[in-house]
């Protein structure tokens, strides 16, 4: 006999127990042991009184009292006058809780290796330990206190008006975006924005969206899955050759996906004449530019490169995200759209009802308008810049043959390796427990194999892990 019974404990905790076997007392004991063993009942948890548990289970009170007494004798539970029956602090066989290994990011190639790496310098994430918990909590409290009742209802897929108003002001001020709250659609990160735009482009009978020679295959896959082809634009020492769009024999896409402020992963800014060439192409052909401004806030040595969108807000879609400036786990991003696209994007979004959580949106609005976002970004900019300088200094001292590029901005650097050595360096790193990614993992299938290099995410480790990760990196370099 297997019976599942839910305990509605007097202390406001519900516990689902599977009582198995013929004897109720033995079955209850085993169910409680199992709940302790697998961590569902944490040490110190107060259990319901034998009376209320007996009532919930529909058994005699003595059955529960006897089961509790035996589990106390076995060391699983403790019973003290006045504090009831609790799970023992050191209950036998409680498995130690280990932090789960981080899930691989969509762009992390290759087979997962057994065991966790000791260090990771994968690009793609900010230092998650630096998430501004206290400030975020303050903003969340204020947002929750001030939220109108209607905010707790189903919300518009366009996003909360409070957040769109704050974003319009922030993006104009900090990134030079020509933004109007009515043109903004809030999305679950850049990734969702891209999916929606892919659906809209496909609906408009676009066949090709040109992409850069280096980028994220997760983004190319999102476009391909929507039925679009992704020819790669050529690349030279100055960056993506946007002028190829108007050259004889060049690609003839309906849209271009590009990272103009900070090419991912190579790190350069698109030169001014190529920015102009791109916008000229869009105007002449009726094409659309999808501007991925994933880490525009982090620029160290020069004035920030403003958003390309400001050159022509009617032809450029600006896509931003909180994934680098705050944390990818928030899943908050935004699109600033040409007015004629807003309804189509909304229609694409509305059919799937993908609205982001209202409370998170209101919290972000409060976080930005209170100045906490600017303070956080400025603080992180200093910290990442310090790490970048430490990386450059350590390489100069310990691996003087390695050239570092793409370091004026962002959270990663490209380390040029001797020709033919990329795979061997990655292999050596893996053996030492250092998770690294090579440049080749970001190469578009259309692009010819390029130089050997590493893409090093120096923002990824926590402050305490960073020195060890840097040492490990220097040890595996030729």
Ligand X SMILES: Cc1ncc(COP(=O)(O)O)c(C=O)c1O
Interaction site with ligand X (CB under 6 A) = 124, 189-191, 216, 259, 264, 292, 294, 321, 323, 328, 333
In this complex, which beta carbon is closest to ligand X, that of residue 76 or of residue 442? 442
In this complex, which beta carbon is closest to ligand X, that of residue 39 or of residue 110? 110
Minimum distance from CB of 321 to ligand X (Å)?
Answer: 3
Q: Taken in order 408, 326, 319, 142, is the CA torsion positive or negative? A: negative
Minimum distance from CB of 100 to ligand X (Å)?
Answer: 20
Element (H, E) at 269: none
Whether 7 and 14 have beta carbons less than 8 Å apart is answered as yes
In this complex, which beta carbon is closest to ligand X, that of residue 27 or of residue 333? 333
Q: CA-CA distance, 202 to 405, in Å (whole number)?
A: 37
CB-based contacts of 85, cutoff 8 Å, min separation 6: 46, 47, 49, 50, 68, 72, 77, 78, 79
Q: CA-CA distance, 75 to 33, in Å (whole number)?
A: 10
Cis peptide before 265 (omega within 30 of 0): yes
In this complex, which beta carbon is closest to ligand X, that of residue 35 or of residue 348? 348
Return the closest-CA partner of residue 167 out of 157, 156, 179, 155: 179
Minimum distance from CB of 217 to ligand X (Å)?
Answer: 11
In this complex, which beta carbon is closest to ligand X, that of residue 264 or of residue 367? 264
Q: Taken in order 416, 417, 423, 426, is the CA torsion positive or negative? A: negative
Rg (Cα) of the chain, in Å, rounded? 27
Minimum distance from CB of 259 to ligand X (Å)?
Answer: 6
Whether 63 and 28 have beta carbons less than 8 Å apart is answered as yes
Whether 342 and 143 have beta carbons less than 8 Å apart is answered as no
In this complex, which beta carbon is closest to ligand X, that of residue 124 or of residue 287? 124
Please give the span between the terminal C-alpha atoms of the chain, in angstroms, as a whole number. Answer: 65
Minimum distance from CB of 364 to ligand X (Å)?
Answer: 13
Minimum distance from CB of 201 to ligand X (Å)?
Answer: 18
Minimum distance from CB of 456 to ligand X (Å)?
Answer: 14
In this complex, which beta carbon is closest to ligand X, that of residue 68 or of residue 294? 294
Minimum distance from CB of 161 to ligand X (Å)?
Answer: 22
Minimum distance from CB of 188 to ligand X (Å)?
Answer: 7
Minimum distance from CB of 328 to ligand X (Å)?
Answer: 5
Q: CA-CA distance, 188 to 307, in Å (whole number)?
A: 21
DSSP assignment string, 139-174: HHHHHHHH--GGGGS---TT--HHHHHHHHHHHHHH
In this complex, which beta carbon is closest to ligand X, that of residue 36 or of residue 258? 258
Determine the residue with CB nearest ligand X.
Answer: 189
- Tell me the C-alpha to C-alpha distance, in Å, between residue 26 and each of 23, 54, 75, 144, 166: 5, 14, 16, 47, 60
In this complex, which beta carbon is closest to ligand X, that of residue 191 or of residue 200? 191
Angle (CA) 399 405 409, round 5°:
125
Enter the DSSP assignment of 409. B
């Amino acid at each position: 006999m297997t019976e599942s019974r839910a305990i509605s404990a007097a202390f406001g905790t519900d516990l689902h127990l599977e009582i198995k076997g013929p004897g109720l007392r033995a079955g209850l004991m085993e169910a409680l042991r199992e709940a302790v063993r697998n961590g569902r009942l944490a040490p110190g948890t107060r259990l319901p009184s034998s009376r209320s548990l007996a009532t919930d289970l529909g058994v005699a009170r003595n059955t529960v009292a006897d089961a509790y007494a035996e589990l106390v004798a076995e060391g699983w539970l403790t019973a003290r006058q006045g504090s009831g029956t609790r799970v023992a602090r050191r209950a036998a066989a409680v498995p130690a809780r280990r932090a789960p290994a981080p899930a691989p990011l969509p762009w992390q190639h290759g087979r997962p290796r057994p065991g966790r790496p000791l260090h990771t310098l994968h690009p793609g994430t900010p230092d998650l330990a630096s998430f501004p918990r206290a400030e975020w909590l303050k903003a969340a409290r204020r947002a929750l206190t001030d939220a109108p009742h209607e905010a707790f209802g189903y919300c518009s897929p366009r996003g909360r008006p409070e957040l769109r108003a704050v974003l319009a002001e922030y993006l104009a001020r900090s990134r030079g975006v020509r933004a109007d709250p009515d043109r903004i659609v809030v999305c679950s990160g850049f990734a969702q924005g891209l999916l929606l735009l892919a659906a809209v482009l496909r609906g408009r009978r676009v066949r090709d969206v040109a992409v850069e020679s280096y980028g994220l295959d997760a983004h190319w896959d999102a476009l391909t899955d929507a039925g679009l082809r992704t020819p790669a634009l050529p690349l030279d020492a100055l960056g993506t050759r946007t002028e190829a769009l108007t050259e004889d024999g060049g690609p003839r896409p309906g849209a271009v996906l590009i990272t103009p402020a900070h090419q991912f992963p190579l790190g350069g800014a698109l030169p001014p004449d190529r920015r102009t060439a791109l916008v000229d192409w869009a105007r002449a052909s009726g094409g659309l530019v999808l501007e991925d401004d994933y880490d525009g806030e982090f620029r160290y040595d020069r004035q920030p490169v403003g958003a390309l969108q400001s050159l022509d807000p009617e032809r450029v879609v600006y896509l931003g995200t909180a994934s680098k400036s705050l944390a990818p786990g928030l899943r908050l991003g935004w699109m600033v759209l040409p007015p004629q696209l807003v309804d189509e994007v909304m229609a694409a979004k509305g059919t799937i009802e993908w609205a982001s959580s209202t409370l998170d949106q209101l919290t972000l609005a409060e976080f930005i308008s209170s100045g906490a976002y600017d303070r956080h970004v400025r603080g992180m900019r200093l910290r990442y810049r310090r790490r970048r300088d430490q990386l450059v200094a350590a390489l100069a001292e310990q691996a003087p043959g390695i050239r570092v590029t793409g370091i004026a901005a962002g959270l990663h650097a490209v380390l040029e390796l001797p020709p033919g050595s990329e795979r061997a360096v990655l292999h050596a790193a893996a053996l030492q427990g250092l998770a690294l990614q090579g440049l080749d993992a970001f190469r578009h299938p259309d692009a010819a194999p390029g130089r050997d290099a590493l893409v090093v995410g120096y923002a990824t480790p926590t402050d305490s892990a960073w020195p060890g990760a840097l040492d490990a990196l220097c040890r595996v370099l030729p």
